[in-house]
Amino acid sequence: MKLYELSLSEGRNVSPFVWRARFCLAHKGLEAERIPISYHDKDQLVFSGQDRVPVLVDGDMVVSDSWKIACYLEEAYPERPSLFGSAAGQGTGLMINKFCDHVLLGSMFLLCTPGTYDVTQDEDKPYFAQSRWEWTGMTIEDIRSMEAEALKRVRSSLEPIRQTLAEQAFLSGDTPAFTDYCVMGGFMWARTTYAPQVLEPDDPVEAWRQRMLDLFDGMGRKTLSLEA
Amino acid sequence: MKLYELSLSEGRNVSPFVWRARFCLAHKGLEAERIPISYHDKDQLVFSGQDRVPVLVDGDMVVSDSWKIACYLEEAYPERPSLFGSAAGQGTGLMINKFCDHVLLGSMFLLCTPGTYDVTQDEDKPYFAQSRWEWTGMTIEDIRSMEAEALKRVRSSLEPIRQTLAEQAFLSGDTPAFTDYCVMGGFMWARTTYAPQVLEPDDPVEAWRQRMLDLFDGMGRKTLSLEA
């Protein structure tokens, strides 16, 4: 099994979508050879019919998009620990995925984009800045100047998650599953690109984040990060 | 089994929380005697140790709070159709519940509060207006003047739901379950208190809402509403 993933300077893994896929693979107890891709060698992904990571290759199967990878793993490896628990859990998982993409990553974007630029290889910095300018009409320095507002938005967008984690250990209940990995992808992006603390120390989300960093032999904790 | 529910002028059932409980009961194929409660006879709820609806009485069990009622029904009637499908689905259900309370009902509040006031019994109108003023610092007419902004906020807060329903028939997948009932509670509040259309006709959320109104022999469709 191979997982194509974004790898920036010093091999940093910043993509929230790749992190979702890595956590899902680990939950299933599966190992994949990790193939690093930079912005300048996206043509290595042509075989997948699109140009974004993660891409999972499992024998003859090629699956791109972290949600589709989660669904593929659930279907192909039903005897291993379930990511969703049930059809209703998987259905709701899509809504969680959309919430994470639209609301959580929407607010994380402003916070994490300047640091992502900083750890992007020098040869790719012009492409990165140009593509963000086309999306948002803002330069990297425009976005950097919004840090205080971005932090406020991230903390506010976490409110339903915060209230849930005040009542149970994981977003999926007593043990972690897809919902946790989907949200944690965003926090891995922050951990690898934003040095200050995103969360107050007494935030229930921070206690959960620490538990998530411990999972799978500290997979998230060990990655090269900007956190103190 | 008895369900204590909010009943306003002409017996209108406006509470999103009561609607969640009614949909959950119907999903389990359970019938409860419905006990109408107005704002001025909340003292009928003293036996439950609190003063909010819904309250479910099942033999010796007294359960208040729509989330706790869903969890109670799932545990007490495991042989009937599951609301969550699995432990992971139930864990994620709490996050859905928090999202609905905080984000969706937070935006619905401005849209539905003036109409809720209008259908509140005359003797309770002063209490209702005073309590909303204490929560928000706004009079009913202040809130009414924000209708256009409120409608924009509701439609925007639905974005993850809209994207999910563009891909599958129900929020819980192919068939409805807790996630659908939780979100639908908010739309039942709108249906009973806000006459204009909340959704554009071509919004995937509107097609889903129509499917939800058809469920359980048209339970939601039959209620006394302000919809044309």
pTM: 0.96
> What average pLDDT does this structure show over A197-224?
97
Domain membership of residue A228 (yes or no) is: no
pLDDT at A228 over 80: no
pLDDT one-digit tens code per residue, A59-98: 999 999 999 999 999 999 999 999 999 999 999 999 999 9
- A95 chain-B contacts, CB cut-off 8 A: 96, 160-161, 164, 171, 179
Question: Is the Cβ pair B160, A90 closer than 8 Å?
Answer: no
CA–CA distance, A16 with A24 (Å, rounded to integer): 12
pLDDT, averaged across chain B: 97
Q: Looking at the structure, do residues A103 and A172 belong to the same domain, yes or no?
A: yes
Same domain, A17 and A105: no
- Res B185: pLDDT: 98
Interface of B with A (CB under 8 A): 82-96, 98-99, 101-103, 159-161, 163-164, 167-168, 170-175, 177-179
Is residue B65 a part of any domain in this protein?
Answer: yes
Domain of residue B51 covers 2-76
Residue of chain B whose alpha carbon sits nearest to that of A176: B88
Contacts of B204 in chain A (CB under 8 A): none
Same structural domain, A202 and A98: yes
**Least confident interval from A28-32, A152-156, B127-131, B224-228:** B224-228
Let me know whether A99 and A27 are in one domain: no
A159 and A56 within one domain = no
Tell me: pLDDT of B227 over 90.
no
A150, A107 Cβ separation under 8 angstroms: yes
Return the number of other C-beta atoms located less than 10 Å from residue B149's C-beta. 12
pLDDT at residue number B44 = 96
Cβ atoms of A30 and A3 closer than 8 Å: no
* Residue A152 located in a structural domain: yes
Residue-level pLDDT at B226: 85
Helix (H, G, I), strand (E, B) or coil at B31: coil
A160 and A102 within one domain:
yes
Q: Is residue B203 part of a domain?
A: yes
Instruction: Judge whether A81 lies within some domain.
Output: no
**E strand segments, chain A:** 2-6, 33-37, 55-58, 61-64
Among A67, A95, A157, A172, the strongest candidate for a mutation testing the B interface, having the largest count of B CBs within 10 A, is A95
Shared-domain flag, residues B96 and B184: yes
Out of B91, B159, B171, the one facing A91 most closely (by C-beta) is: B171
* Residue of chain A minimizing CA distance to B175: A88
Averaged pLDDT for residues A100-108: 95
Q: Which residue in chain A is spatially nearest to B86 when comparing CA positions?
A: A85
**In this predicted structure, what is the pLDDT of residue B33?**
98
- As for the ipTM of the complex, it is 0.95
At A158, is the secondary structure helix, strand, or coil? coil
Q: How far is the alpha carbon of A83 from chain B, nearest alpha carbon, in Å?
A: 8
In 3D, which of B166, B178, B148, B167 has the Cα closest to residue B203? B166
Residues B46 and B100 in one domain: no
> How many structural domains comprise chain A?
2
pLDDT of residue B55: 98
Report percent pLDDT > 70 for chain B. 100
How remote is the C-alpha of A90 from its chain's centroid? 19
Residue-wise burial string across B51-88, b where 16 or more C-beta atoms lie within 10 A, e elsewhere: ebbbbbbbeeeebbbbbebbbbbbeebeeeebbbbbbb
Reply yes or no on whether the pLDDT at B228 is more than 80.
Answer: no
What pLDDT does A226 receive? Answer: 85
Nearest CA-CA distance, residue B125 and chain A, Å: 31
A138 neighbors A132 (Cβ within 8 angstroms): yes
**E-strand spans in A19-138?**
33-37, 55-58, 61-64
Tens of pLDDT along A108-160? 999 999 999 999 999 999 999 999 999 999 999 999 999 999 999 999 999 99
Q: How many beta-carbon contacts under 8 Å exist across A and B?
A: 131
Indicate the residue among A55, A76, A97 that finishes a domain. A76
Residues in chain A whose beta carbon is closer than 8 A to a beta carbon of chain B?
A: 82-96, 98-99, 101-103, 159-161, 163-164, 167-168, 170-175, 177-179
